[in-house]
Amino acid sequence: MEDKKRIFSGVQPSGHLTIGNYLGAIKNWVELQDDYDSFYCIVDLHALTVRQDPKELRRRSLSVFALYLACGLDADKNTIFVQSHVSAHAELAWILNCYTYMGELSRMTQFKEKARRHKDNINAGLFTYPVLMAADILLYQAHLVPVGADQKQHLEITRDIAQRFNSIYGDVFVIPEAYIPKVAARIMNLQEPTKKMSKSDENENAFISMLDTSDVIMRKFRRAVTDSEAQVRYDEENKPGISNLMNIYAAVTGKSYEEIEQEFDGKGYGDFKKAVGEAVVETLNPIQERYNDLMKNKDYLQEMMNKGAERAARIANRTLGKVYRKVGLVSPVRG
Ligand code: ATP
Ligand code: LTN
């Protein structure tokens, strides 16, 4: 395990995970798990940048943990853990805050977009969110970060912070690379297909939750916004709704856009939407079954969670210790 390159990635427990989270990120984690020493995190500290109901957040963190396993992540092969269980994340984030400029943070599109959506709560955490993300990644000396396209900018700032730090103190951090899939890097909102699908959207019809029942999935696809041309053809600019459905269908069936266009040549949108819905149901059904089984055994989940945190903390504290020494913090004398 030691000589493999490392992966780090995470999802916020800020709602039920969507097929965007699955197809854009988690599915690739499962595919990469044999070739890397991987750290998969439930980034609960990040979720606090938007108001959460405490009881719900606690419940969801466990639920996301179970969903990771249900998607096929192996808790023995990978280190799967909750961010707040490893205090080094918040500690390194503080240090890195002192190496990050206000100017570069104010260019982040996720900040601008979330600030627009939550005008009554534009808190400092929302602003420094990418610094905590940089701390997550850099603590584990990760080489690769599999994420959806929306996180590209955050990966760039992570690299900038790491390079800045290394240029002052020597080679402390590995410079990470983003791994963004070719298909499904940006699944769009089903109701407003020019916006990204997001798990915290207030409109439930805008996203497919990984835990939605088959009926709900079929209904949401039936209601998905399309256009009036009645031709299944890939054209992101003029047909964002249909192109998004094609992207989802391609991701779950492995078919190319040409194959999909041929398959639905001369057929209506109703047939196409039904096929997309059925393919998604077929993908999610086995995951949901495993999820329901896992959720019956909370003690097991808790035990795996504790193990993950212990393993993660060991690696993270090594990096944190090095950073503390480099920047000149005095070590405590142990008696
Ligand atoms: P929130 O609504 O709380 O902002 P989110 O649904 O945008 O959450 P995150 O927790 O921010 O999801 O992201 C987790 C991972 O899923 C990231 O790697 C992100 O790039 C990916 N991801 C999120 N939404 C999509 C999407 N619509 N298409 C593809 N990948 C996505
Ligand atoms: N910012 C990501 C979630 C996230 C993450 C990370 C992803 C937090 N820390 C580290 C990859 C690596 C998001 O909101 N999509």
Q: What is the pLDDT of residues 295-306, one digit of tens each?
A: 999 999 999 999
Task: Profile the chain (335 residues) by mean pLDDT over runs of 10 residues.
Answer: 87 96 96 96 97 96 98 96 98 98 97 92 96 98 97 98 98 98 96 95 96 98 96 97 98 97 96 98 98 97 98 98 96 75
User: According to the model, what pLDDT value does residue 1 have?
Assistant: 52
Q: Residue 98 burial (CB < 10 Å; 0-12/13-18/19+)? A: exposed
Q: Residues 217, 141: one domain? A: no
Active-site residue, 267 included: no
The verdict on residue 147 lying in a domain is yes
The verdict on residue 227 lying in a domain is yes
Q: Which ligand sits closest to the CA of 19?
A: 1
Domain of residue 147 covers 6-180+297-327
User: According to the model, what pLDDT value does residue 154 have?
Assistant: 98
User: According to the model, what pLDDT value does residue 186 have?
Assistant: 97
Q: In a mutational test of the pocket of ligand 1, which residue from 14, 17, 18, 21 has the highest number of ligand atoms less than 8 Å from its CB?
A: 21
User: According to the model, what pLDDT value does residue 332 have?
Assistant: 78
The verdict on residue 161 lying in a domain is yes
Protein residue with least CA distance to atom 13, ligand 2: 11
User: According to the model, what pLDDT value does residue 3 have?
Assistant: 82
- The residue type at 185: A
Determine phi and psi for 270, rounding to 5 degrees: -60, -45
The CATH number of residue 238's host domain is: 1.10.240.10
Q: How far apart are CA 33 and CA 254, in angstroms?
A: 20
Q: How far apart are CA 143 and CA 13, in angstroms?
A: 24
The verdict on residue 332 lying in a domain is no
Query: Residue 269: which residues within 8 A CB-CB, separation 6 or more?
Result: 226, 230, 232, 242
Q: Residues 20, 126: one domain? A: yes
Active-site residue, 296 included: no
Q: Residues 84, 211: one domain? A: no
Residues 75, 69 contacting (CB under 8 angstroms): yes
User: According to the model, what pLDDT value does residue 334 have?
Assistant: 73
CB-ligand 1 contact for 198 (6 Å cutoff): yes
